[in-house]
Amino acid sequence: MPTVLCDSGPLIALAKVGRLRLLLDLWKVVHVTAEVYQEAVALGCALGAPDALTIRLFWQKHKLPIIGVADSVLAAYQPSITLDPGEHATFAHAMTLKDVLVLVDDEDARTEARRRGIPVRGTLGVLVEAYRRALLSLPEIEFLFNELSARPDIWISAKLCARVLKSLRSE
């Protein structure tokens, strides 16, 4: 089983739709870097985002790892594009691991990860994996995709949601 590293986008989106638990149902343990935790939890709490508190309580309850990436590892990784601190730390750490999966939504960051040979999956990919493992039904997936695409505080394209749903219906 790969080491699963999660960026803030999927954490925040799954918290907003009440589905953080799927991360553990799918992979048992999910890691975040200290930079991702800072962005998703500390900054989110400072801004009064309810999902930040949800993530913090979930991480505490399940005693999930928060990885401190060494400065030397951060400095050694020179991405070809500008990444936010969480993405940078996550990819830098991912490149030190043999079997890894990174959960990230930002399309530019996903392109950078693929260029570096880092397997990636986004929020929709997490939900699709849960569906394929019978953790979610097709009506539940449809509802979640509709909620994700309709929410102004989650930046996942309605077109992408529709395209993925169409492919799931034809499986």
Q: What is the CATH number of the domain that holds 94?
A: 3.40.50.1010
Judgement on whether residues 84 and 160 belong to the same structural domain of the protein: no
Q: Which domain holds residue 63?
A: 3-122
For the cut 90, the answer to whether the pLDDT of residue 171 exceeds it is no
Q: How far apart are CA 49 and CA 164, in angstroms?
A: 28
Confidence of residue 132 (pLDDT cuts 50, 70, 90): very high
For the cut 90, the answer to whether the pLDDT of residue 122 exceeds it is yes
Average pLDDT, stretch 110-137?
96
Asked which of 84, 106, 122 is the last residue of a domain, the reply is 122
Judgement on whether residues 24 and 76 belong to the same structural domain of the protein: yes
State the pLDDT at residue 120: 97
Residue for token digits 């030190």? Answer: 96
In tens, the pLDDT along 18-72 reads: 999 999 999 999 999 999 999 999 999 999 999 999 999 999 999 999 999 999 9
Q: How many domains is the chain partitioned into structurally?
A: 2
Q: Provide the CB-side half-sphere exposure for 113 (13 A, CA).
A: 26
Which residues contact residue 119 at a Cβ distance below 8 angstroms, ignoring those fewer than 6 apart?
Answer: 2, 100, 101, 102, 113
What is the distance in angstroms between the CA of the first residue and the CA of the last residue of the chain?
25
Q: At 161, list the tokens.
A: 């949601």
Q: At 92, list the tokens.
A: 């830098």
In tens, the pLDDT along 82-118 reads: 999 999 999 999 999 999 999 999 999 999 999 999 9
Q: How far apart are CA 88 and CA 62, in angstroms?
A: 25
DSSP, collapsed to helix, strand or coil, labels residue 12 as: helix
- Model-level pTM greater than 0.85? yes
Asked which of 106, 122, 138 is the last residue of a domain, the reply is 122
Judgement on whether residues 115 and 62 belong to the same structural domain of the protein: yes
